[in-house]
Amino acid sequence: MSVSASELLTPSKSQHDAKVIGLISVAHFFSHFYMLLLPPLFPLLREVYNVSFTELGLALSAFGITSALTQAPMGFLVDRVGARKILIAGLALEGLAFILIGALPFYTALIGGMLLAGLANAVYHPADYSILNASINPARMGRAFSIHTASGHLGDAIAPVTILALMAWIGWQGGVVIGGVLGLLAALWLSFNSSLLQQDTSPHPAHSKSATQQTGMRLLLSLPVLMGLLFFVGIALTGGGLRGYSVAALHELYQVSLSEAGVVLSAFLFASPVGVLVGGWLADRVQRHDLVAASMFVLIGMSLLSVAILSLPLPLIAVLFALAGFCTGLVAPSRDMLIRKVTPPGQTGKVFGFVSTGFNIGSIIAPVLFGYIMDQGAPKLVFWGAGLFALLTIFTVLETGRRGRKQSTETT
């Protein structure tokens, strides 16, 4: 059934869109909330489990690797059976995983719980984007994507404060259990409002399972989707280098205290969600999302290369970090709009699930690569590397945009 533009912009449709964005943003909030729920407890958990920090790190690796391996297959499942049930089940499963971790203070339970949580975490990107794509007025899609992304940043920020406050109140186990229960309550809320969540499923069901997989793999291995994957890898490598090692690099380069270097990194981290919200407004008002993203990557690259090449006062470095963070955030909605343009109808889950795996790939590579750079006593190379990765990502953006315009021309 076709809907006119005037109908799409009615107050009732605006209210509907706001409710859908709110529901999906709550789910995405918990996706990030759970990723940072346990790390603040590591000094305590090291004693509780009688293990090393390396062994605690293995629990995070179990989460990350499981999520990376299952995110693309989860996208196929979303497109086959619909995103609503998958999203609600994933959120409930992740809540149960953390209840398990809190209730059973054993290292094996930690590993098992993190494996379950990693599997559950794989549902969010394919399911969220599938629902947003099917439910939201296209004129508001950029803002919908930006609020969705910003909710993840909010989850990152709130998780450490929440778990430390809960630990001080009722102990670490009770705090983790409450964190898990919150996820179950959120899943219940989504279930009660599931009728609002439309699903972007394929309008042409495949005749056989093998046919579906063949068509799906052909799509995922197409050049524009592969460019989208590399796009996400580049973003993760740039951000991972800064988040993980910029404090140590600045400390060695400028002999500043760790707290002073941390303030510089905070400039990047706080500017990023502001950029996300501005980027959503901009994405709804431009057509050339590739040029927006490419321009931002130029600014990110030049900001970081300036830190690598020049000897600058710390306040100016903080300004450059804030600029890089703002531009990194502003890229996100245009990034999502670019991927949306190269995604055929009914394929949103698998495409967004596949390209989002690039985040996992970059997040696995970045700590090892930049850690090796620091071990070689070359802190400037942290900024060289992050800046060059940003500049290299420009090519993936422009190619994705070119392919998207070509597909739009062919279908009109």
User: What confidence score (pLDDT) does residue 410 get?
Assistant: 61
User: What confidence score (pLDDT) does residue 214 get?
Assistant: 38
Q: Mean pLDDT, the chain, as a whole number?
A: 87
Angle between helices 124-135 and 314-341 (to 10 degrees): 60
Label residue 202 by pLDDT band (50, 70, 90): low
Interatomic CA distance for residues 7 and 126, integer angstroms: 28
Model pTM? 0.82
Show the domains of the chain with their CATH numbers: 13-196 (1.20.1250.20), 212-406 (1.20.1250.20)
User: Looking at this protein, which amino acid is placed at residue 138?
Assistant: P
- The residue among 270 and 299 whose pLDDT is bigger is 299
User: What confidence score (pLDDT) does residue 98 get?
Assistant: 98
Residue 4's contacts (CB-CB under 8 Å, 6 or more residues apart) are none
CB 252 within 8 A of CB 370: no
CB 141 within 8 A of CB 284: yes
Interatomic CA distance for residues 185 and 163, integer angstroms: 17
Distances 55 to 59, 104, 363 between C-alpha atoms, Å: 7, 17, 18
Find, among 284, 249, 288, the residue nearest to 268 by Cα: 249
Interatomic CA distance for residues 406 and 222, integer angstroms: 14
Task: Point out the least confidently predicted range of 64-78, 98-112, 190-204, 369-383.
Answer: 190-204
Asked if the model's pLDDT at residue 261 lies above 70, the reply is: yes
Task: Point out the least confidently predicted range of 37-41, 210-214, 245-249, 315-319.
Answer: 210-214
